[in-house]
């Protein structure tokens, strides 16, 4: 059955709420309004206010409440409206959720899932459009996921809820209206490893989240010039699946990384460093990064598009490393 990325997320929430009475959803406008992006629409009527909880406009407060509920044995799903707003809860996430197991000598786990919209492409301007995945992938104690497909949007939530430690899930804003075949409800998704979305032999293109479709569009264009690009969807940003990247570079010998975050000290920089550490002698050309321009995301559509990684920019980078 064909469905949207948004509907796949909704089905994932329904499955989790049905399977485990300890699961509940909390966040700004998740109840009566149905979620800022419509993901939780209809859930309040189905499950009631005890399990679909609207919260005050205070990210630090409701993330802290989620941490407390997780410690007490519940399985909370906390929705933060956008990645930018998550910074208001960074103290709770870094100094509490990510560290309590370590600071308690393993006695206190925080089985919390935090969902947030990320990225640009909807003309929401700088305070709502940034990709801050690198902030969270930097933190020991967290697992960081970035579902790029309808399948992963549907199937990643349940295994995330089984993790004894906090999991942060980034949902690209630009993908909410995208559609594909919805997997069967019992589809099991591995949240430890990357996947090869398209095999190829001439160059490896690594992407995640909203940039996967950019990478795949570039691979289609490259095929017209007889360049076979292998596209990797990272899926999990922490822990990073270095083995899949190194294995791919081992037979393509070239690497281009597509990252909607900024290039400096970002996900792309980490991938480049890890590849040089583990596969330096496999590289036949310098690694190239295609990242968002080093500016706050503009509001004007033409400026927003110019700031973001594009298929044309990926094709240009691939031609540079192949030639």
Residue 195 Cα distances to 25, 37, 167, angstroms: 29, 27, 19
Residue recorded with tokens 């791919």:
248
Active-site position among 11, 28, 59, 260: 59
Q: Is 59 a catalytic residue?
A: yes
Active-site position among 11, 28, 128, 130: 128
Q: Is 128 a catalytic residue?
A: yes
Residues 244 and 255: beta-carbon distance below 8 Å: no
Residue 234's Cβ-side half-sphere holds a number of Cα atoms within 13 Å equal to 29
Please list, in sequence order, all residues whose beta carbon lies within 8 angstroms of the beta carbon of residue 323, skipping any fewer than 6 positions away: none
How many other C-beta atoms lie within 10 A of the C-beta of residue 162? 11
**Alpha-carbon distance 256 to 296, whole Å?**
23
**Alpha-carbon distance 248 to 252, whole Å?**
6
Residues annotated as catalytic are 59, 128
């Amino acid at each position: 059955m064909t469905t949207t990325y948004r509907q796949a997320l909704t089905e994932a929430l329904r499955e989790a709420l049905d399977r485990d009475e300890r699961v509940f959803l909390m966040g700004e406008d998740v109840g009566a309004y149905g979620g800022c992006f419509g993901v939780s629409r209809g859930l309040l009527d189905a499950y009631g206010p005890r399990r679909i909880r609207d919260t005050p406009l205070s990210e630090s407060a409701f993330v802290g409440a989620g941490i407390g509920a997780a410690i007490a044995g519940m399985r909370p799903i906390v929705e933060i409206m956008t990645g930018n707003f998550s910074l208001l809860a960074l103290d709770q996430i870094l100094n509490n959720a990510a560290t309590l197991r370590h600071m308690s000598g393993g006695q206190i786990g925080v089985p919390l899932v935090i969902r947030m919209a990320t990225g640009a492409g909807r003309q929401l301007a700088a305070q709502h459009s940034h990709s801050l995945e690198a902030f969270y992938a930097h933190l020991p104690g967290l697992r960081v996921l970035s579902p790029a497909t309808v399948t992963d949007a549907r199937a990643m939530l349940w295994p995330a809820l089984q993790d004894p430690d906090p999991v942060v899930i980034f949902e690209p804003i630009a993908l909410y209206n995208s559609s594909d075949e919805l997997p069967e409800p019992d589809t099991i998704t591995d949240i430890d490893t990357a996947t090869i979305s398209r095999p190829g032999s001439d160059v490896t293109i690594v992407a995640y989240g909203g940039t996967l479709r950019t990478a795949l569009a570039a691979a289609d264009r490259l095929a017209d010039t007889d360049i076979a690009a292998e596209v990797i969807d990272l899926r999990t940003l922490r822990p990073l699946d270095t083995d899949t990247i190194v294995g791919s570079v081992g037979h393509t010998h070239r690497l281009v990384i597509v990252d909607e975050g900024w290039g400096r000290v970002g996900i792309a920089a980490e991938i480049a460093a890890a590849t040089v550490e583990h596969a330096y002698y496999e590289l036949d050309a310098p690694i190239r990064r295609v990242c968002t321009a080093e500016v706050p995301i503009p509001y004007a559509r033409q400026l927003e598009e110019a700031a973001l990684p594009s298929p044309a920019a990926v094709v240009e980078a691939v031609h540079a490393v192949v030639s």
